[in-house]
């Protein structure tokens, strides 16, 4: 696996690369980096593809513009298009997890001339709103800040409000990066649930049930509370977390979280910028990979149900079992196999 840098869309991007063949662009989420794809990169390469996983704008060893609106979704999509061009290609399949999923869906939605296929992990296609949350605004009917207030109710706050308020989450994390990342990753993983926990069925649960679940979870807190007060510390580190924790602690002790959080600070602006695409379906072949213990997959239940209309060329919805939010690391082999299976459907369709 090689690591390089390239200039694209006026920014410098660090990326990891392996393999030869059609380009597959792998987009990480928050708070991660190219490293989140370290298990899937060799699997995709071995299957006959060129796997490229960049540190996205504001992360790792890539550029970190200072202005908040430099992190608007149209500029992030332009980064993806620029990366394809800088890598000497004209098209790519785009695969994303978490925030990377929102970016991947949007790239395929707005630039189908460049992105010939899309795989979204964890976060279903949310239209203008990017993140479909609890059935309140599955396709961007309301601007994100309004969605947050509806979900939280009076005297409460949705977690994203805390994250973007001043230094917010960045200040909390930087007090002790090790315990913050340990508890953040653990709290949204499948390991936080007891072995006999029966998750709701994301394919049958109602929007009302999802909203009730969300309000009762750590995603909604008392105003003035610290986000990390709702996190859970593991008694022992699971293998997948022990393997990666030191990498992420070192990475964010060096960079901080401030620039990465600007992606969240732009969500209302993104909603405005994507207005011209409202009501349009995604035109290219697609796959969705969620997991049964991932709150973000559950939030998107209504959006998943809308896939026949919004993502009419969807080839498959995969729901991984006994897996939390960190799909690429908690279920690395199953994730890689699903992505390769999708890539091969594109090849066989030619």
Whether the CB-CB separation of 92 and 116 falls below 8 Å is answered with yes
> What are the tens digits of pLDDT across the range 31-81?
999 999 999 999 999 999 999 999 999 999 999 999 999 999 999 999 999
Average pLDDT of the chain, as a whole number: 94
**Catalytic one of 14, 28, 97, 325:** 325
Q: Look up residue 307 and give its two tokens.
A: 């896939």
Q: What is the pLDDT of residue 350?
A: 58
98 as an active site residue: the answer is yes
204 has a pLDDT exceeding 70 = yes
| Distance between CA atoms of residues 205 and 126, nearest Å | 18
Lowest mean pLDDT among 48-52, 219-223, 242-246, 274-278: 219-223
135 has a pLDDT exceeding 90 = no
Residue-range domain boundaries for the chain:
2-349
| Contacts with 346 (C-beta within 8 Å, 6 or more apart), sequence order | 93, 116, 117, 285
Range 2-349 classified under CATH 3.40.50.1820: yes
Q: Residue 333, class by beta-carbon neighbours within 10 Å (0-12 exposed, 13-18 middle, 19+ buried)?
A: exposed
DSSP string, 31-68: T--GGGGTTHHHHHHHTT-EEEEEPPTTSTTS---SSG
Token pair 């332009």: residue: 78
Instruction: Give the residue-averaged pLDDT of 268-272.
Output: 97
246 has a pLDDT exceeding 70 = yes
Instruction: Give the residue-averaged pLDDT of 22-30.
Output: 98
> What are the tens digits of pLDDT across the range 71-107?
999 999 999 999 999 999 999 999 999 999 999 999 9
pTM of the shown model: 0.97
| Contacts with 65 (C-beta within 8 Å, 6 or more apart), sequence order | 11, 57, 58, 71, 259
**Catalytic one of 55, 98, 183, 191:** 98
> What are the tens digits of pLDDT across the range 160-202?
988 887 677 888 898 999 999 999 999 999 999 999 999 999 9
> What are the tens digits of pLDDT across the range 205-235?
998 899 888 888 778 888 878 888 888 999 9
């Amino acid at each position: 696996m090689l690591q390089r840098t390239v200039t694209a869309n006026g920014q410098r991007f660090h990326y990891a690369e392996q393999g030869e063949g059609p380009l597959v662009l792998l987009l990480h989420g928050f708070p991660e980096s190219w490293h989140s794809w370290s298990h899937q990169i060799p699997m995709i390469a071995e299957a006959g593809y060129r796997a490229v996983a960049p540190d996205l704008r504001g992360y790792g060893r890539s550029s970190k513009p200072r202005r908040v609106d430099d992190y608007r979704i149209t500029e992030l999509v332009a980064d993806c298009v620029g990366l394809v061009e800088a890598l000497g290609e004209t098209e790519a399949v785009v695969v994303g997890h978490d925030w990377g999923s929102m970016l991947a869906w949007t790239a395929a939605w707005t630039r189908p001339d460049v992105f010939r296929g899309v795989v979204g992990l964890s976060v279903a296609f949310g239209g203008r709103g990017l993140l479909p949350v609890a059935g309140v605004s599955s396709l961007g009917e309301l601007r994100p800040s309004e969605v947050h207030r509806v979900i939280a109710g009076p005297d409460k706050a949705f977690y994203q409000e805390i994250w973007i308020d001043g230094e917010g989450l960045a200040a909390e994390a930087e007090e002790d990066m090790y315990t913050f990342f340990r508890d953040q990753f653990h709290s949204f993983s499948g390991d936080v649930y007891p072995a006999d926990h029966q998750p709701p069925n994301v394919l049958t649960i109602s929007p009302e049930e999802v909203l009730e679940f969300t309000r009762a979870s750590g995603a909604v807190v008392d105003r003035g509370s610290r986000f990390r007060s709702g996190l859970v510390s593991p008694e022992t580190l699971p293998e997948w977390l022990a393997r990666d924790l030191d990498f992420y602690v070192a990475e964010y002790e060096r960079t901080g979280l401030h620039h990465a959080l600007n992606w969240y600070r732009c969500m209302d602006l993104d909603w405005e910028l994507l207005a011209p695409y409202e009501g349009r379906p995604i035109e290219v072949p697609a796959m969705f990979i969620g997991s049964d213990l991932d709150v973000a997959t559950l939030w998107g239940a209504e959006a998943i149900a809308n896939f026949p209309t919004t993502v009419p060329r969807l080839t498959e919805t995969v729901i991984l079992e006994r897996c939390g939010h960190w799909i690429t690391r908690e279920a690395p082999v199953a994730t890689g196999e699903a992505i390769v299976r999708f890539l091969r459907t594109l090849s066989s369709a030619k």
